[in-house]
Amino acid sequence: MSTRRIKLDLHPIFNRGSAIDAALADAFDEAERRKAAELEIICGKGSGALRKRVLRYLDRSDVRPRYHRVTKDRGNHGRVMVSFRWSRGQ
């Protein structure tokens, strides 16, 4: 796994709400610790409920300041990309 990119696959826990939030929080902590450039969240295509849950999590006021940009992959609806911007010395 690259230190600049982190991948989180939510398929194994798609139906456990608290586990999803915990996995997202852990992925953000790891991204900050490793100064990752990008976090790739695999939520699958399905009905879109898991993707909506991920986007709601990312829109929370306590989470928004932790990342730079969210990109919804047009070519793959089952993937959300979160970009980070790190300052020097951070």
Higher-pLDDT residue of 88 and 50 is 50
Structural domains for the chain: 5-83 (3.30.1370.110)
Interval 1-19 mean pLDDT: 81
What's the predicted TM-score (pTM) here? 0.86
Nearest to 9 by CA among 33, 49, 39, 52: 39
Give the C-alpha separation, 85 to 69, whole Å.
9
Nearest to 7 by CA among 21, 23, 22: 23
17: confidence class by pLDDT, cuts 50, 70, 90: confident
The predicted pLDDT at position 1 comes to 41
Which residues, listed in sequence order, are joined to residue 13 by a DSSP beta bridge?
none
pLDDT digits (tens, 9 = 90+) for 29-84: 999 999 999 999 999 888 888 999 999 999 999 999 999 999 987 777 789 999 99
